[in-house]
Structure 1
Amino acid sequence: MKTKIVLDAHFDMLLDVLSLRRRGEHAVLERRFLPGFRSAGINAVVCSVFILDELVPEGALRNALDQISALYADIEESGSFRLCRSVSECRAAAADGRVALFLSLEGAEPLGRDIFLLRVFYELGVRLLGLAWSRRNYACDGISFEAEAPASSAGSLTGFGRELAAEACRLGMVIDVSHLNDAGFREIAHIVKVPFIASHSNCRTLTSSPRNLADWQLDFLAAAGGVTGMNACGPFAAAERSARTPEALLTHLDYVVSRYGTEHAGMGLDLCSCLESLKSGYVQEGDTDIFRDHTDAGERFIRAVRERYKEDEADAILGENFLRLFERVMGS
């Protein structure tokens, strides 16, 4: 019997793995994150390589490589994790009782404008490419967190960005449009001929943050066979702080399902409040996650999805949709 995959499509835990290992700690994954994954029933995680503002541009490449190196070292100290480069490796890891990890670049900053570096990251195991975080890089503009984005951040893909998207597709890397601005999204939707994802984006119709996807974007995503992952960061679930509840996030999920079916919805929780490395400057007071950690998300979201939907629908939403897309783009 095939092991069901429950996948969080976006987690910045590599920042903590690197930071804590630099302090002399070991087996960070096992000690800090495994209990939450086990409690929630999560057996696959997309680990994002996220570069802090202060390291851009000069330190981006070095820090990205440091994060990946720290992950390799930590996996060696634990029998509970496996870095996966394909869906078959993911399923084998889960069947063996381990947590499958995929690597993603959250923003192209580590590449500078050097297309050859993408192959280097691919060989290191990176299988997903988020073209942008919410800032400008050589490939594109990221979406602003502000309701009124400056006109200067409204650019589409650069020539390098188009070259980068094409090379990622050639290598079999999944394109991730979360944090990409609207103009860049529209261009990706027209030039990418395989399904793409928004790993951690909710619905702009329900919560007007620019970080969420408008209906026209969800239309393109679904038409391409893509998946969007529900994001548990409070401001993207509800405008009012008092309304930032699990039910608000489930409402975003219901909206996607009602318009496009269960096959285009997933889970990309983007939990930051449990990360030491993001507590300075990146997680603002009052803007905390709906869930304090993965244990909490398991109790108040994953369980609710299983109660709300039929078994096969819940399985799809909680991981199998992303795995189906990964297999189509990466290969089995």
Structure 2
Amino acid sequence: MQPVLDGHNDVLMRLWETAGKGGDPIAEFRDGITTGHIDGPRARAGGLVGGLCAIFVPSRQGPRPTFDRGTYSSPLAEPIDQPAALAAAVAMAGIARRLDREGVWRLCTSTVEIRRAIDDDVFAAVLHMEGCDPIDADLYALDLFYAAGLRSLGPVWSRTNIFGHGVPFAYPSSPDTGPGLTDAGVRLVKACNRLGIMIDLSHITEQGFWDVAKVSEMPLVATHSNVHAITPVTRNLTDRQMAAIRETGGMVGLNYATSFLRPDGQENAATPLTDMVRHVDHLVEHLGIDGVGLGSDYDGATIPSEIGDAAGQQALVGALRQAGYGEDDLVKLCRDNWLRVLAQTWRE
């Protein structure tokens, strides 16, 4: 079994929703359930040893795509008021801290801690924020979340906030869909560089990508995006963007969402693992073997049925092995590339 460190998942949002319905999020992760994608038992079964766990506050009404003969487009999701987003984010951070306190997982802020958790057979969680809607323009909340363990963030999700503009979900479409960072977004990027917080470019517009590239001193990273040349959705990266990521020593995590994998852009669990391998091949060609990892989007997307959930993680590893990736390559793809980029960003 090849242990996997995942670049992105939404398990905290699922656990928060469980708590909102009166359930026990700690027991859910510790003991396991039959829905969703990640919990402790399934992670152990599939060799998923940890990952970047996102604080993500959903919009009250998500984007409603319109479909026309195999194409689709949707408006940006509705913005969220900062106080409401902050309340939800604090609750998710609280769940993350409780899981740590109960020994269900280990909240890690260094690669030394990640490696130690893996050695101890404890799920290594890194706190991430997907869309900085909970953060105020003066960045006071950023410092508080950093103190709580936040070490990675994406300035925007697929909606607009005070820091910038996200891409809508559309196929086929360029990721160049609108403006990029605001002045507040520039200040956010500089603050992340100062603190040592990784910046995720997965949901930002192409203009926003280039804005971050101009401002940031750290490796460029897209934790859960795929190849636009194969699947031309707004969320995927162009070859030019990948060249810029490679130049900074950054990386891209393969997203398991079927609509970002299939050439037809459709959300369909009957998506073969060969589609995933094709994206990895292209990413490796343009980024090098040191610039590619896995960023599942577990609990946030429809994934191929051959994987199913975290317990099926090794199905992808097996497909990559069958495609000719050796064990040294698989170690890099499955965890060491993430450890390298995190260590560089965190100035270890």
Normalised to the residue count of structure 1, the TM-score between the two structures is 0.89
Provide closer, same or farther for how the CA distance between residues 150 and 217 of structure 1 changes in structure 2, counting only shifts above 3 A.
closer
User: What is the aligned counterpart of 2:244 among 220, 229, 241?
Assistant: 220
Partner of 1:303: 318
* CA-CA distance at 1:10 after TM superposition: 0.5
Partner of 1:6: 4
Q: Please give the alpha-carbon distance, in whole angstroms, between the structure 2 residues aligned to 1:244 and 1:190.
A: 37
Q: Please give the alpha-carbon distance, in whole angstroms, between the structure 1 residues aligned to 2:132 and 2:277.
A: 31
Matched, 1:15 2:2: no
Alpha carbons 1:80, 1:97 under 8 Å: kept: no
Q: Please give the alpha-carbon distance, in whole angstroms, between the structure 1 residues aligned to 2:236 and 2:172.
A: 14
Alpha carbons 1:21, 1:28 under 8 Å: kept: no
Residues 249-284 of structure 1 deviation map (CA, whole Å, 9 limit, x = unaligned): 110001111233210100001023xxxxx6xxxx6x
Partner of 1:86: 110
User: What is the aligned counterpart of 1:69 among 91, 94, 99?
Assistant: 94
Superposed counterparts of 1:81-230, under 5 Å: 81-147=105-171, 154-230=178-254
Residues 10-44 of structure 1 deviation map (CA, whole Å, 9 limit, x = unaligned): 00000122222341324222123012211221112
* CA-CA distance at 1:187 after TM superposition: 1.1
Residues 60-113 of structure 1 deviation map (CA, whole Å, 9 limit, x = unaligned): 000000011022223333x34100011111111111111110001101101032
* CA-CA distance at 1:148 after TM superposition: 7.2
Paired AA for residue 331 in structure 1 = R
Higher deviation after alignment, 112-121 or 213-222: 112-121
Superposed counterparts of 1:239-250, under 5 Å: 239-240=263-264, 241=266, 244-250=271-277
Instruction: Tell me the secondary structure at the aligned position of residue 161 of structure 2.
Output: coil
Partner of 2:75: none
Alpha carbons 2:86, 2:134 under 8 Å: kept: yes
Paired AA for residue 188 in structure 1 = V
Q: Please give the alpha-carbon distance, in whole angstroms, between the structure 2 residues aligned to 1:45 and 1:29.
A: 14
Paired AA for residue 257 in structure 2 = C
Instruction: Tell me the secondary structure at the aligned position of residue 253 of structure 1.
Output: helix
Runs (4+) off by over 4 Å: 148-153
Q: Please give the alpha-carbon distance, in whole angstroms, between the structure 1 residues aligned to 2:212 and 2:51.
A: 25
Provide closer, same or farther for how the CA distance between residues 35 and 167 of structure 1 changes in structure 2, counting only shifts above 3 A.
same
* CA-CA distance at 1:45 after TM superposition: 1.1
Q: Please give the alpha-carbon distance, in whole angstroms, between the structure 2 residues aligned to 1:85 and 1:61.
A: 21
Normalised to the residue count of structure 2, the TM-score between the two structures is 0.85
Percent of matched pairs sharing the same residue:
30
Q: Please give the alpha-carbon distance, in whole angstroms, between the structure 2 residues aligned to 1:158 and 1:105.
A: 18
Residues 114-173 of structure 1 deviation map (CA, whole Å, 9 limit, x = unaligned): 312111110000000111101111001001112477999511210000000000010001
Matched, 1:326 2:342: yes
Paired AA for residue 324 in structure 1 = R
Residues 233-263 of structure 1 deviation map (CA, whole Å, 9 limit, x = unaligned): 0110014347722110110001111233210
Q: Structure 2, unaligned stretches of length 5 or more?
A: 33-38, 61-78
Instruction: Tell me the secondary structure at the aligned position of residue 210 of structure 1.
Output: coil
Q: Please give the alpha-carbon distance, in whole angstroms, between the structure 2 residues aligned to 1:157 and 1:213.
A: 18
* CA-CA distance at 1:292 after TM superposition: 2.2
Higher deviation after alignment, 173-182 or 4-13: 4-13
Residues 151-201 of structure 1 deviation map (CA, whole Å, 9 limit, x = unaligned): 995112100000000000100011110001100001111221211210000
Instruction: Tell me the secondary structure at the aligned position of residue 59 of structure 1.
Output: helix
Structure with greater helix percent: 1
Residues 274-302 of structure 1 deviation map (CA, whole Å, 9 limit, x = unaligned): xxxx6xxxx6xxxx22132111232x202
